[in-house]
Amino acid sequence: MYEDAQEIFNYLPIRRDTSEDEYLKHLWSSFTLLEKAERLWEKDANGFAVDDASLKMARPFSVMPYHLLFMMSVQYKMLQIALAHKTATDLFFTVVGGRNKAQLLSPKRSVFDMALINERTIPDIFQLVSLNPDVIKKCKDLVDHRNDTLAHAKGGIEQDVETKILEYGSVLDAVQKCCLPINQKWANNWLLEIKAGDDIAQFMETHFLDSRFSPRDFGDIVSILLEAEQLDFEQWEQVVEKGFDLAHSQTIEALKLISQSELDEGRRFNAIRVLHENGDIDEEMRKSMIEKETDAEILELLKKQ
């Protein structure tokens, strides 16, 4: 369960301001402490030193801070959608904002301001990115479950924490896929701004904060950046490095696509070199590439063991 829970950070911003970062750290610490209680109890049951079996009773409440991590992920997505669809989101905030309308419409609004909206109403904003109505309903169901079962003194206890975490993840994954066009537009805008000699690493760090980009967001655009002709070699290398750090699997896939379809031999060589150095070319792929390759330098690289 712990590994599945960590996936939440793929949907939270790479760079956050201090207050947001502290809040998220508090939520994650609370979750891990409550989740750890079950693992400590299990060790005790197997003969380890922990002797308080009541620890097991704490774990069901780990869903409480995790739900807030989920809602923070959703609220960050709302801000991203607001940047891409200003007119429509302003109308949404006007309709649902009530006495908080001015704060929600302010250009200085924060991710915390999104919580001024009725929690059950929040998922409706994802209609703007054509999220499946069933997923919107699922998101509302998760909110209802927390509110009706756990948030008040009604005797509710979450018995299946693992399933709930997977359900949170499935909703976030569906929202992410619907936001792909927004991320692609961000990437194309970035490429219009980048100039020769720019430090791409610093450029990305600055824009991660402005755009509230998450690792999954960067994974959505890494192929666009790696295939961009205007990046020089050093800039391209910086994108690769950032991709390995934030979105390893998507970066590998992007490099594989370049290695097999890029017409520019220099760019193809660099992609193959990176894959080779990282051990991401298996024998079957290597043989297939050798059969199709005509560039002598690339062939020499592929034949190295």
pLDDT digits 0-9 by tens, 98-149: 999 999 999 889 999 999 999 999 999 999 999 999 999 999 999 999 988 8
- Mark whether 146 and 210 lie in a shared domain: no
Q: What does the mean pLDDT of the chain come to?
A: 88
How far is residue 55's CA from residue 35's CA, in Å, rounded to a whole number? 10
Where are the alpha helices (H) located in the chain, listed in sequence order?
Answer: 2-6, 18-45, 63-84, 86-96, 101-105, 133-145, 161-178, 180-193, 200-211, 215-226, 233-246, 248-261, 265-277, 283-292, 296-302
How far is residue 187's CA from residue 142's CA, in Å, rounded to a whole number? 32
- Mark whether 171 and 207 lie in a shared domain: no
Among residues 160, 178, 196, the one where a domain terminates is: 178
- Mark whether 84 and 12 lie in a shared domain: yes
Summarised one tens digit per residue, pLDDT across range 57-104 is 667 788 899 999 999 999 999 999 999 999 999 999 999 999 999 999
State yes or no: pLDDT of 169 exceeds 90: yes
pLDDT at 49: 45
pLDDT at 291: 82
Among residues 147, 178, 209, the one where a domain terminates is: 178
Q: Which two structure tokens, joined as six digits, stand for 191?
A: 């490429």
- Mark whether 107 and 232 lie in a shared domain: no
- Mark whether 108 and 191 lie in a shared domain: no
How far is residue 297's CA from residue 290's CA, in Å, rounded to a whole number? 11
pLDDT at 297: 85
- Mark whether 43 and 168 lie in a shared domain: yes
Summarised one tens digit per residue, pLDDT across range 2-54 is 788 899 999 999 999 899 999 999 999 999 888 776 555 455 444 544 445 55
pLDDT at 72: 97
Provide the number of structural domains found in the chain. 2
Place of tokens 């290398």: 237
pLDDT at 175: 97
- Summarize the confidence of residues 182-205 as an average pLDDT: 92
pTM, entire model:
0.87
Among residues 114, 148, 178, the one where a domain terminates is: 178
Host domain of residue 291: 181-302
- Mark whether 32 and 107 lie in a shared domain: yes
- Mark whether 81 and 220 lie in a shared domain: no
